[in-house]
């Protein structure tokens, strides 16, 4: 009985702290949706260049999801998530010192790693709960998508008060603090890892399942549309209707 209570306590701690971490990661991932507007003006970017700037973090966040999911199965979500978030901290901070277009594109590739946190946290969190509660756990964790909304509230306030360079500096500090909290209040369970005799190719066999490919297509449209609008709508409202960036966000 005591063991079950302890496991349940660990499970909820993992769920809540992981959701917080995912919220911060999503906030960072969507950062260009706000600070991209003054960057576009400062660098005199055209629509194509601006669109590429918006898409760069999304590209990285998408491409790393499969390998991150595989590493989560093999090494555990706690270590993979902590390393993933820690890697983004220097890139986020360096964003405030970027001056050329290629600087932003390069740094954006590393910042985009934060978007891969979804494929780490989902299996990590789910395995702490029995099957009949995994839907609830993944639903709570998925609410971390609200980081896009948090970004819309926080970034414009910092931008107007201190300039856009303050946004990545504050976000880097928040991410660093989140890494520490995540490491302190999450746990590892070797029983959640795939057996050592399961090969890399075995893990990729899921991609042969037509249902997996079908759901990937659904996901690309639904979630892809959500991400695209989250990134694009602020500059659209500012450009088309002349709204203040805080109102637009």
- For every residue of 72-128, DSSP letters joined together read HHHH-HHHHHHHHHHHHHHHHHHGGG--SHHHHHHHHHHHGGGGGHHHHHHHHHHTT
The pLDDT, as a whole number, for residue 65 is 92
pLDDT in tens, the chain (249 residues): 556 667 889 999 999 999 999 999 999 999 999 999 999 999 999 989 999 999 999 999 999 999 999 999 999 999 999 999 999 999 999 999 999 999 999 999 999 999 999 999 999 999 999 999 999 999 999 999 999 999 999 999 999 999 999 999 999 999 999 999 999 999 999 999 988 888 888 888 888 899 999 999 999 999 999 999 989 999 999 999 999 999 999
Domain tally for the chain?
1
Is the CB of residue 49 less than 8 Å from the CB of residue 56? no
Give the domain range for residue 12.
2-248
Nearest CA among 20, 22, 16, 23 for reference residue 149: 23
Predicted pLDDT of residue 101: 96
Q: Decide: 173 and 57 in contact? Cβ < 8 Å.
A: no
- Give the separation between CA 131 and CA 198, rounded to whole angstroms: 22
Please tell me the predicted confidence (pLDDT) of residue 4. Answer: 65
Residues in the chain, total: 249
Identify the pLDDT of residue 3. 61
CATH number of the domain bearing residue 86: 1.20.1250.20
């Amino acid at each position: 009985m005591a063991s079950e209570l302890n496991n349940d306590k660990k499970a909820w701690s993992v769920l809540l702290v992981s959701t917080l971490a995912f919220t911060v990661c999503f906030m960072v991932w969507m950062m260009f949706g706000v600070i991209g507007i003054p960057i576009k003006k400062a660098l005199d970017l055209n629509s194509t260049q601006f669109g590429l700037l918006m898409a760069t973090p999304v590209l990285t966040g998408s491409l790393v999801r499969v390998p991150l999911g595989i590493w989560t199965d093999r090494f555990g979500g706690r270590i993979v998530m902590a390393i993933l978030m820690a890697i983004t901290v220097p890139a986020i901070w360096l964003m405030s010192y970027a001056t050329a277009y290629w600087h932003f594109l390069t740094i954006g590739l590393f910042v985009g790693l934060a978007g891969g946190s979804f494929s780490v946290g989902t299996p990590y969190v789910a395995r702490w709960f029995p099957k009949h509660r995994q839907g609830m756990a993944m639903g709570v964790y998925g609410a971390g998508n609200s980081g896009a909304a948090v970004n819309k509230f926080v970034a414009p306030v910092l931008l107007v008060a201190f300039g856009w360079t303050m946004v990545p500096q504050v976000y880097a500090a928040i991410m660093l603090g989140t890494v520490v909290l995540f490491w302190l209040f999450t746990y590892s369970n070797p029983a959640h890892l795939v057996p050592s005799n399961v090969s890399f190719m075995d893990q990729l066999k899921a991609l042969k399942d037509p249902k997996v490919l079908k759901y990937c297509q659904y996901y690309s449209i639904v979630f892809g549309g959500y991400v695209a609008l989250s990134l694009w709508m602020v500059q659209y409202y500012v450009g088309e209707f002349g709204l203040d960036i805080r109102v637009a966000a």
